Amino acid sequence: MTEQTERVALITGGSGGIGRSIALRLAEDGIAVAVHYSGSRERAHDVVDRIHGIGGRAITVSGDVADETAMAAAFAETTERFGGVDVVVHTAGVMPLAPIADMDLAVFDEVQRTNVRGTFVVDQLAARAVRSGGAIINFSTSVTRLQPPSYGAYAASKGAVEALTLILARELRGRDITVNAVAPGPTDTPLFREGKPQAAIDAIAGANPMQRLGTGADIAEVVSALAGRARWINGQVLYVNGGAA
C-alpha cells in the first residue's frame, strides 16, 4: 500500500551521527523519511520510532551503498511506500585513518569503494529517481581544506565526491534538481570521538573560532535549507565548520 505524502527524502547513513540529526530535522519539516542503514538496524529503527513520535512518517531501508542492486531496492522501497523521491541525502561513509606510508592498500581500497563508488551509485540512482523540484545532497569534509596528517585516503575520497557533485549538477540541467555537497568540520559524533583521547577532542574544539565542535543539529540546519527553499544554491560545496577552514 502506498502512503501519499507531499515530499519524500532518502537519507543514507541515517541511523547515527549526522544522518540521524538530518532525518529528525527533515521530519520536523514535514518530509517523509526513508532512514537507510547498513549495519545499524536497531539505531535505524530508533530513529524511525522518534519520527513517529513527533507525528512524522518514516521507514527503514538497508543495503551496502556501493552495491547498485541493494541501493536500487532501497530506492524502489521508498517509492513504493511514499510514492516517489524528492530529496536524497548521502551521508554514509567510512573514515579509517593512517599515514599514507603506512596504510594497508586493502583499507585504502575499501575507503574508495564505500566513499567514492558508494556516492557514484547513490547519485546515479538519485539522478534517475528524484522528481522535479528536488535536491541531491552529498557529503564531503572540511578535511579537504584542513589537510591534517593521516587523513590522506579519506580526503582523497571526498575530493572525488566534490567532483561528482559539481558534474552531476551540470548534467541535470533543465530538470529543476539542485545538487550540492555539505563539507562539515569536526562534528561531535561517535565516529569523530572514536579513538581520540578527551585532550585531543578539547584541543580540536578550542582551535575553532567558535570554541566548540559542530553538532549534528548545526549540519542538519544547512541540509534542511538545501532540501527546501534554498533553490538558488546549486553545484556548490558548502563548508559548514564554524570558521575552521
What is the amino acid identity at position 97?
L
Residue 239 annotated among the catalytic residues of the structure: no
Q: How far apart are CA 138 and CA 167, in angstroms?
A: 12
The full length of the chain comes to 245
Choice among 37, 151, 154, 239 that is catalytic: 154
How far, in Å, CA of 46 to CA of 91, rounded?
A: 18
| Grid coordinates of 73 | 531496492
Maximum C-alpha span of the chain: 54
CA angle at residue 242 from 231 to 31, to 5 degrees?
40
**Phi, psi angles (nearest 5°) of residue 184:** -70, 155
* Dist CA 183 CA 241 (whole Å): 8
Beta-bridged to residue 33, according to DSSP, are 9, 58
Q: Kindly state the cell numbers that stand for 10.
A: 532518502
- In degrees and rounded to multiples of 5, residue 213 shows phi and psi of -80, 160
What is the spatial distance between Cα 139 and Cα 93, in angstroms, rounded to a whole number? 9
Task: Cite the active site residues.
Answer: 154
